[in-house]
Amino acid sequence: MLKNIKLTREQVFFLVFIGTLGNIVYCHTWIDDETDRAAWVAAFVGILLVIPFAVWIMYLGKSHQGETIFDILESGLGRFPCAVVSAIYILINIAVAVAMLNMFTQLLKAFFYPYTPVWVIMLFLVLMAVLFANGSFKVFARTVELLSILGLLNFIVSFSFAFPRYIHPKYVIPIFDTSLLGFIKGTVFMTGAASECLLLLLVMVSFIPDPAKHYLWVVKGLVFCAAVFSSAILVIIAMLSPEVAKRIAFGAVNAAKLIEVGDFLHGLELFVYGTYQFIAIGKTTICLYCAWTAAKKMFNNWHPRVQLLLTALLIFLPAVWLNSYIKAYQLAVLLSSYIILPFCVVILLLTSITVLLKKKNAGSSSK
């Protein structure tokens, strides 16, 4: 059944979209000190810079259709190195999910539910993730399509009320008021944060039919994500002024709090928060699914449902234990700056070597 799933163009598009927007929606304020008004440009360029790596993954999947990158690694390097790499991969996924869960829960608590205990909210999110990951991936892909479209619509409609009263062009222009070095630092950080989608692609490439031919789907998804995310940051900066914007914890929800149309329409942060919840649900499920796939591979499909529950527990317990926005923020910054992108590059290098070796062996054996 796993091998039969073929994702369509829109599903790949939106899965990549949600896969990229994970912790980046919260920790993009880390670089605001360095990029100032150019934060949205840095975001746009940063996410675009992930494209080469994504296309690289697609090409690696060309010769091994229907297999994840880990399958390729295993066939090339043997079980033990692949197990080591898988273990690190699982840990990274768990860390991403823990950071995401914590930051979203704190968003909820800070804005709407100050008295609800943290574990209750996290429990529900993890339960939903288990529910979704348990079903077929194709169903989940369709759900992600729906959720993304709805989240986008939500976002756009809520912020359309901000025009024109709350958008101040003088907060946006001049755009480049920082040094080039600061801008580059910011861009690199954004690339690191956006490379969460590479983590997803490592597993998802098995579901994409004919990856090398359809790499454009992934590229389009990333470009779209870059456009949407950078315009969100642009709107936030225009509404809040960058000096205030760099201090806020929760991005667009803070910004939506300002919007008041007449005496009647206010509190729109509630709707923008809905988009954040969709992102949290989607990302948690994706992390759970990726970790679960890698674990299934490592332990050779031993009682997959039990493995799913164990992985979910492994995400839930550290998240509850961490229980702090600041620590989660620092964790996310750490992951984005130093861990995710280098890890993916290492995996890609190993896999490329494997594929090249295989080709050479196949070439030499066919002589």
Partner 1 sequence: MKKRKAPCIKKLSAQMPEASLSHARKSLDALKQLTSESVAIADGMHQIIQKLMSPWQEQNIFLAIDENFRLLTDIIGDDIGLIKGKHAILGGKVQAGVVYIESITDEELVSSQVIEPLLLGKVDLNTRQEAVLELIQSKFIYVPNTKNSSRMGEIVESLLSGDTVLFINGLNTALIIGSGKIVKRSIEKPENEGTVLASLESFIEDLDANCSMVIKRLPTSALRFETFTKGVLSRTKIKLLWIDGSSNAKIVEEARSRITQINIDNIDGIGVLAELIEDNPWSIFPQYRQTQRPDVVAKALADGHFAVLCSNSPFAFFAPTSLWDNFKTMDDYAERSSSASYLRIARYMAFLMSILLSPLYLSFVTFNQIIVPPSLAANIATGREGVPFPSGVELLLLTFGITVIREGALRITGSVGYFIGTLAAVVIGQATVAAGYVSASIIIVVAVAEISAFAIATTTLVYTSRLINYFFVILSSVFGIFGLINGIAIIFWHLASLESFGVPYLYPVIPFDLAAMKDTFLRIGVLKKRLRILAPGNRTRTDK
Partner 2 sequence: MKKRLLLLLVYLALALTLPGCWDYVEYENITQVIGMGIDYDSKTQETTISIQFPALKKRTGGSETTAPSQWIVQSATEKTFYGALTKLQETVPNRLFLGYLKVIIIGEEAAKYNLMDTIDYFDRTPSLRSSANIVIAAGKAEDVLKTIRPDRGRPASDEIHTLIHGSTESGAAYPVTVNDFIQMLAIGGWEATAPRVSSVAAKAQQEDTKGGTQESIRANEERIGSQRVAGLAAFKGDKFVGWLNEKESMGVGWITGKKMHAYKVSEPAGGVGAEELYYHVTDSNSKIKVRLVNGLPIIDVDVKVVADLKKYSRGEGADFLSAEAVSDAEKKLTDNIRSDIDAALIRGQKELNTDIFGFGFAFFREYPGLWQDKYEAQWANIFPCIPINVTVHAKVINTGSNISKLIIR
Terminal Cα-to-Cα distance of the chain (whole angstroms):
36
Under rule CB under 8 A, residue 308 binds partner 1: no
> Minimum distance from CB of 267 to partner 1 (Å)?
3
Are the CB atoms for 18 and 160 separated by under 8 Å?
A: no
User: What helix, strand, coil percent values describe the chain, rounded to 5?
Assistant: 80, 0, 20
Residue among 113, 314, 293, 126 at smallest CA distance from 206? 293
Under rule CB under 8 A, residue 250 binds partner 1: no
Residue 192, C-beta contacts closer than 8 angstroms, at least 6 positions apart:
335, 336, 337, 338, 340, 341
Cβ closest to partner 2, residue 136 vs residue 361: 136
Interacting partner of 66 out of partner 2, partner 1, none (Cβ under 5 to 8 A depending on kind)? none
205/91 Cα distance (integer angstroms) = 20
Give, as ranges, the residues between 6 and 25 that touch partner 1 (CB under 8 A): 8, 10-11
150/133 Cα distance (integer angstroms) = 21
Under rule CB under 8 A, residue 273 binds partner 1: yes
Interacting partner of 177 out of partner 2, partner 1, none (Cβ under 5 to 8 A depending on kind)? partner 2
270/286 Cα distance (integer angstroms) = 24
> Minimum distance from CB of 33 to partner 2 (Å)?
12
Cβ closest to partner 2, residue 71 vs residue 260: 260
* Binding footprint of partner 2 on the chain (CB under 8 A): 110-117, 120, 123-124, 127-128, 130-131, 134-135, 170, 173-174, 176-177, 240-241, 243-244, 247, 253-254, 257-258, 260, 266-267, 269
> Minimum distance from CB of 160 to partner 1 (Å)?
17
Among the listed ranges 206-214, 261-269, 296-304, 348-356, the one in contact with partner 1 (CB under 8 A) is: 261-269
Long-range contact pairs involving 305-313 (C-beta distance under 8 Å, separation at least 24): 305/134, 308/130, 308/133, 308/134, 309/130, 311/90, 311/94, 312/126, 312/129, 312/130, 312/288
Cβ closest to partner 2, residue 168 vs residue 214: 168
Cβ closest to partner 1, residue 80 vs residue 264: 264
Interacting partner of 281 out of partner 2, partner 1, none (Cβ under 5 to 8 A depending on kind)? partner 1
How would you class 258 by CB atoms within 10 Å of its CB: exposed for 0-12, middle for 13-18, buried for 19 or more?
middle
Among the listed ranges 89-97, 106-114, 219-227, 335-343, the one in contact with partner 1 (CB under 8 A) is: 106-114
Cβ closest to partner 2, residue 120 vs residue 362: 120
Under rule CB under 8 A, residue 136 binds partner 1: yes
> Minimum distance from CB of 113 to partner 2 (Å)?
4
Here the tokens at position 150 are 């709805």
> Minimum distance from CB of 16 to partner 1 (Å)?
16
Under rule CB under 8 A, residue 157 binds partner 1: no
> Minimum distance from CB of 36 to partner 2 (Å)?
8
9/216 Cα distance (integer angstroms) = 9
Q: How far is CA 70 from CA 45, 171, 205, 345, in A?
A: 29, 47, 10, 14
- Residue 8 CA, distance from chain mean position: 20
For the residues of 75-113, what is the DSSP string, one character each? Answer: HHH-HHHHHHHHHHHHHHHHHHHHHHHHHHHHHHHHHT-
| Locus of tokens 């980046």 | 24
HSE-up of 61 (CA within 13 Å, CB side)?
A: 27
Interacting partner of 64 out of partner 2, partner 1, none (Cβ under 5 to 8 A depending on kind)? none
Interacting partner of 130 out of partner 2, partner 1, none (Cβ under 5 to 8 A depending on kind)? partner 2
Residues in contact with partner 1 by the rule CB under 8 A: 8, 10-11, 108, 112-113, 121, 124-125, 128, 131-132, 135-136, 139-140, 142-143, 145-147, 263-268, 270, 273-274, 277-278, 281
